[in-house]
Amino acid sequence: MTKPSDKGRKFKHKKTMSETKKEFFDKKNKKKRCAITKNILHGTAREGKGKIRKLSKTKRRPSVPFGGILSSKAREEVFTEMGKVAAGIKTIDMVDEKYKKYVKQGIRRAQ
């Protein structure tokens, strides 16, 4: 009987001399995507946890605010909206819904 931990995993049948065994394998990591525009994020690691731990700190995570979460165009738009809110041109309620979450985070970090 299969273990409960193996029930959702994918497998291949592997023939050996004596019997046919199930060989389980893990899914491949997908490319990271922007939370707003859904574009592929460049410069983010795609390997498993073990290989990412072996990378240097700078290769593991981007050093830009919202790096690894937002694309450069979306990040630029968020910073523009943050500036408008900070200057008093806009209120937080006037900011577009898709940017509002990140504008709030950015303002909290800046304080």
Domain assignment of residue 17, yes or no? no
- Number of structural domains (the chain) is 1
Q: What is the mean pLDDT of residues 30-43?
A: 92
Domain assignment of residue 96, yes or no? yes
Q: Give the integer Cα–Cα distance in Å for 14 and 73.
A: 47
Domain assignment of residue 36, yes or no? yes
Domain assignment of residue 21, yes or no? no
Q: What is the pLDDT of residue 37?
A: 94
Domain assignment of residue 16, yes or no? no
pLDDT in tens, 70-104: 999 999 999 999 999 999 999 999 999 999 999 99
Sign of the Cα torsion 51, 60, 69, 110 reads positive
Q: What is the pLDDT of residue 82?
A: 94
Domain assignment of residue 51, yes or no? yes
> What contacts 4, CB < 8 A, 6 or more positions away?
none
pTM: 0.71
Domain assignment of residue 1, yes or no? no
Domain that holds residue 78: 32-110
Domain assignment of residue 62, yes or no? yes
